[in-house]
Amino acid sequence: MHGTEQSPVMRGTDWEDVRSVPNPYGGTVDLVVIPESKQRDKGYYKQVSDMICGQRTSCMVNFWTDKKHIPESAWMKVEDLAVQTASYERSPNYKEPALHLACWLYPTKAIGEADKCEYEPGAKKPPD
């Protein structure tokens, strides 16, 4: 197997690593679909991310609940970004991995921002 070949798709009991695409800033980004019932569960995101990232010191994972919005590349259409539920990033430059849920998943703007939520282009905004 050559270093540029993609690994087979990973699946859990209720999630799927749909594709791994080249990241323009180096490495790859894993694009994952999860059940809508888990979209606010930070522990779930961390568990899935840890399974996908394994022993890699640098790893990026983006999450959606609808497979049709998972892009074909690291370039993402606004309508796909608008429904992305979370992003996870592990880097040797970080003290600990960063997990950010989409701001639209929070009941209010203040709660989301206190939890360092992620605003995506085109996404609905949480109420003030």
pLDDT in tens, the chain (128 residues): 333 334 456 788 899 999 999 988 888 999 999 999 999 999 999 999 999 999 999 999 999 999 999 999 989 999 999 999 999 999 999 999 999 999 999 999 999 999 999 999 999 988 88
The pLDDT value recorded for residue 128 is 84
Nearest to 88 by CA among 70, 100, 75: 100
Please tell me the distance from the alpha carbon of residue 100 to that of residue 87, in angstroms, as a whole number.
5
Q: Where are the domains of the chain?
A: 16-114
Q: Three-class SS string for the chain?
A: CCCCCCCCCCECCCCEEEEEEECCCCCEEEEEECCHHHCCCHHHHHHHHHHHHCCCCCEEEEEECCHHHCCCCCCCCHHHHCCCCEEEEECCCCCCCEEEEEHHHCCCHHHHHHCCCECCCCCCCCCC
76 burial via Cβ count (<10 Å: 0-12, 13-18, 19+): buried
Please tell me the distance from the alpha carbon of residue 119 to that of residue 122, in angstroms, as a whole number.
9
- Bridge-partner residues for 21, per DSSP? 29
